[in-house]
Amino acid sequence: MQRLTSTLALLSALVAMAPAATAATAATDAVTATAAIPGTVASQELRSQIENLIKSYERALNTSDIAGAASLYADDGVLLAPDGPTALGIDAVRENYAGTFKAIGLNLNFKIAEIVPLAKDWAMVRSTSNGSVKVLSNGAIVPAAFQELFVLRKTSSGPWKIARYSFSSTLQASK
């Protein structure tokens, strides 16, 4: 009887939680579906401009091009890399890439998951990248997979620039 009571209590709790879980799923679906709502869809021109920016970023990373990577950032851009200090401003961003490219070589392929216009001059890009990282000190090549979030700002002179960038690995840590 005690076991039946416990089981019924557990089932009641799960049933009570179902609306919250459904609401959370609906909220997630609403965020994912934002680009499908008329009036918020990234125009083809906007999409093309942003895809070109991300492709340029991919190329700069894969060729260890410090100047190329930094040129894609706004002057007040911020780079949030895992396990490191925040790079605030273009000089710190440039220094970050210089240090990174001294230590590793990247071979990544970016895939854009979504482009969301936030305002006239602001947009968000969520992406993933997969490939490999070469450790320059010993030549080891290891698999790499990341998720990225870009916040972009359109400059007064026209091109989109990276205002904020954050990424994290999606690979399981070795045990």
Backbone φ and ψ of 44, nearest 5°: -60, -40
Say yes or no to pLDDT of 84 above 50.
Answer: yes
For the chain, the structural domain boundaries read: 1-39, 42-169
Tokens read off for 158: 């026209």
For residue 175, the model assigns a pLDDT of: 61
For residue 42, the model assigns a pLDDT of: 67
**42-169 has which fold?**
Nuclear Transport Factor 2; Chain: A, (3.10.450)
pLDDT band at 31 (very low <50, low <70, confident <90, very high): very low
Long-range contacts from 58-65, C-beta under 8 angstroms, 24+ separation: 58/108, 58/109, 58/110, 58/129, 61/106, 61/108, 62/106, 62/107, 62/108, 64/101, 64/105, 64/106
Tokens read off for 171: 């690979």
